[in-house]
Amino acid sequence: MTALPTASETPTAATEHVPRAAYGCVAAAVLCAAAVCLASAPDAAGAAAAVLPTLLPLAALHTLCEIPSHRRPGRPGGGFFPVLFAAAFLLPPGAAAAVALPAALLGRVEQRPAGPRRVWRAARLVLAAWAAAQAFTLLGGGPALREEALPEGLVKALSAAGAAALVFCLALAALDGGMRAAVERMPVRTAWCGLLSAALPSYTVHGLGGLLAALLWNGPYGPVAAVCVLTPLYVSSRHFAASHRERAAHHAAVRALVQAVDIKDPYTRGHGDRVGQASVLIGRELGWDGQRLELLRFAGVLHDVGKLGVPTRVLRKDGPLTEAERRTIELHPEFGHEVVRGIGFLGEARSAVLHHHERMDGSGYPYGLAGRQIPVFARVVAVADAFDAMTSTRTYRRARPAAEAVAELERCAGTQFDPRMVRALARALRRHGWQPETTPETTPETTPETTPEAAAAAHGEPDSAAPGEDGRPGVDGNVSSASASGTR
């Protein structure tokens, strides 16, 4: 229930208004769950007793796996479904559905009202487990799992388990999408979009884990062997969930900083994101990948976070800057470094925040580093920064074509920019192209129309120096640096 998140999805207790439509969805799910359970209930006491030796340990195991993540705020949550799949493969559909109940009903719920959220969590898992067990049974997976049917039955069991995982995923996607459509009043197609494709790979892995556990459960070592297999799966599942949540938290932190900069300086809104994209283009050409490329993107996105320390009246000044104002603006790399230096996960990206205005000839700021003294991330971001500044539309001029911007970068390679980074960007652009920013980054209502000189100085445009283009001097009085300087 996207509108009724499960306990572990929220770090603190809070009361949230629940729309009436959500209660309707909960009621419908409960009715459906009750109906399928009653329809699947064994019609004889003997049949019920026969499933209990499998149902009770699996329900206890599922509860043991789920409750810790519900009871510890901040601990990664998410379902651990191999136990449910094992139940779907070992038990009749009604009994498999019952395995999900204890954990779903006993687990902690962070947001209020807790009751409906618990009931929804239980109903959706009951329905999904029941549907998966039905699919497995209909495809003949049960007999194929018996010891006497192996190994010939393994292929059939695998096919049935794959189908069960798909059905499990479909059921949850349908329920969650239906809830989202009802609560957020969005088209059903939009609500369901992405739910299935995002979840199917992990459900398939969980289904295979469940099949393995079921095979061992039926084997000579019984439940003990199954638990031995499920334990490493459980540990890796929790580790993966922790990594996923940590990564999401990193992205949220970076996004918050970027939004703060965009609010403070709406004139260059979107510039950070584009510099991040251009930096990644360069990084890929250099053969970087994985975590390093991710950090490089962060570096590009956050390079001007130090604008937060520059007075807004200076950033938005409508007119030429005084020398004191220019010096204040040139402090933004150091302000930015103050902001990010304590953020450990940014790693190497922090050096780009501090040094993205250094120049290869040593005449940049804040420290006047030269050549390879300049951190490599900073050399990449400097090129991406200048490229985006030149290819973005400003209120006093339209964007330059990418080819023209690259020519300008090449002209300044060696003095201002690292030629290797410039060549990498040129190669990447030939390979992938670039969609230059063609719309003004702000509106007259939000930002005053500045003079070209003030805008270039305040926003670090290619000043183009453009001697000739605007007929104005470069920010630092140096034509080449001015012509291809990035945002401040």
Site mask for Fe ion (CB under 5 A), range 294-333, x = bound: ----------x-----------------------------
On whether the CB atoms of residues 132 and 171 are closer than 8 A, the answer is yes
Taking the complex as a whole, the smallest distance from the CB of residue 373 to Fe ion amounts, in Å, to 19
Taking the complex as a whole, the smallest distance from the CB of residue 357 to Fe ion amounts, in Å, to 6
Q: Binding to Fe ion by residue 476, rule CB under 5 A?
A: no
Number of other residues whose CB lies within 10 A of the CB of residue 305: 23
Q: Binding to Fe ion by residue 488, rule CB under 5 A?
A: yes
Nearer to Fe ion, 170 or 261 (CB): 261
Counting residues that bind Fe ion (by CB under 5 A) gives 2
Strand blocks (E) in 82-206: 111-112
Give the Cα separation of 361 and 339 in Å (integer).
27
Please provide the size of the chain in residues: 488
Matching residue, tokens 């300044």: 412
> What does residue 320 show for φ and ψ, rounded to 5 degrees?
-65, 150
On whether the CB atoms of residues 40 and 130 are closer than 8 A, the answer is yes
Taking the complex as a whole, the smallest distance from the CB of residue 229 to Fe ion amounts, in Å, to 53
On whether the CB atoms of residues 86 and 210 are closer than 8 A, the answer is yes
Nearer to Fe ion, 110 or 385 (CB): 385
Nearer to Fe ion, 95 or 378 (CB): 378
Nearer to Fe ion, 86 or 412 (CB): 412
Taking the complex as a whole, the smallest distance from the CB of residue 302 to Fe ion amounts, in Å, to 11
- For residue 378, with 0-12 CB atoms within 10 Å meaning exposed, 13-18 middle and 19 or more buried, which class applies? buried
Taking the complex as a whole, the smallest distance from the CB of residue 350 to Fe ion amounts, in Å, to 14
On whether the CB atoms of residues 86 and 217 are closer than 8 A, the answer is yes
Q: Binding to Fe ion by residue 265, rule CB under 5 A?
A: no
Taking the complex as a whole, the smallest distance from the CB of residue 306 to Fe ion amounts, in Å, to 7
Residues 151-210 that bind Fe ion (CB under 5 A): none
Nearer to Fe ion, 123 or 354 (CB): 354
Nearer to Fe ion, 408 or 461 (CB): 461
On whether the CB atoms of residues 267 and 310 are closer than 8 A, the answer is no
Q: Binding to Fe ion by residue 461, rule CB under 5 A?
A: no
Say which DSSP state 413 is in.
B
Structure tokens at 120: 């929804």
Q: Which residues bind Fe ion (CB under 5 A)?
A: 304, 488
